[in-house]
Amino acid sequence: MSRDWQQELASLRITPYYQRMSTENEILAEVEALKGKFSDTKALYREVCALLFFRYGITPTTNKLYQYVRKGTMGTPAEALAKFWDELRGKARIEIDHPDLPQDIKTVAAEAIAAIWQQATAAARSELAVIREDLQAATATAKHREAEAQAAAERAAAETGRVNALLLQCQRDLEAERLATAGIQSRLAQQEQQLEEQRSLNKQLQERFSNELEKARTAVEAAHDRAAAAEKRALLEVEHERQARIKADRTTETLRGQLAQAEARERDSALRHTEAYTRLQANLSAAEAARESALTEGRALTQRLAELEQRLEAANQDSMRHRMEASMAKELIARMAPPEQKAQSKPARKRVAK
């Protein structure tokens, strides 16, 4: 009977690699939990034997037990494994102790009950295998969807990085345009300073002309009484001053024309600066809109990932429910055994359940 169980359980272990790794991680976690419950090394090895054989359908060996527990010497798991097989063979052996029945009838009845128990155990394990396959398939699907969500999140992050790089480039262009504008404003300030210097010079010329004209008038009035010659000389001086004034007026008009040209250049430069600033503002608005769209898509992907995690949690709850159903099936099998066998095997089963 033990060999049949070993062959049946060995067939259940033909699973994909990632499923075996998941089972291995679960076994390691439960062994660590048993280490906290059992301080005695031999008792710990017996519990690990029961865990591997009854819960995971794995035939325990000395090397595998020591690989999981790693306590004591190699003789300790060998001794615990021998006692486990002895106890299991004692539980599997069915004896009908009734003084009124012949030995042949006892043997036939015992074999019939053993066969029923074996068939019930096989049916329960078959159902448990189906439940495990469904759970593993659901877990694989959830992991695949989680990988897709992660890939989508990475694509959204890459798009966000691209938008941020574009925004940074726009900011750099805007800073360059600001520097160019600052240079233009600096040149305008220099031109305004030169114009102000020219106006100051013109004012000085006008003041000097006014002073000299006043002196000439004074001289003319003073010389008017002296002689006609002096008057003629004065008139000549006045004419000379008038020509100087005409020349000063022409210089003023020239400076005004230069000032108008400088103001026109300043207006053209300001207009170009305004157009460039408008283009940069439009590019910046487009980059902000693209960034907001990428963030919205990232939030949608995060919500989808949360939904997948909830589905995985539901699959884990279904797995727990299937395990409880398997445990109830085992109890039903135990109830089908004869009363004498239940009375003899009840203490041993409680010890295994620990």
pLDDT tens-place string over residues 5-39: 444 444 444 445 556 667 888 888 999 999 888 88
Contact 65, 84 (CB under 8 A): no
Question: What is the pLDDT, as a whole number, of residue 126?
Answer: 66
Tokens found for residue 161: 């990085």
The Cα–Cα gap between 81 and 208 comes to 126
- The b-or-e profile of 277-289 (16+ CB within 10 A means b, else e) is eeebeebbeebee
Tokens found for residue 287: 């980059």
Q: Which amino acid does the sequence have at 338?
A: P
For the entire predicted model, the pTM comes to 0.28
Percent of the chain clearing pLDDT 90 (strictly above): 4
Tokens found for residue 70: 């790693």
The Cα–Cα gap between 26 and 30 comes to 6
CA 212 to chain centre: 86
Question: What is the pLDDT, as a whole number, of residue 61?
Answer: 92
The Cα–Cα gap between 302 and 218 comes to 97
Flag whether pLDDT at 208 surpasses 70.
yes
Question: What is the pLDDT, as a whole number, of residue 352?
Answer: 40
Question: What is the pLDDT, as a whole number, of residue 73?
Answer: 87
Q: Which amino acid does the sequence have at 72?
A: G
Average pLDDT over residues 340-349: 53
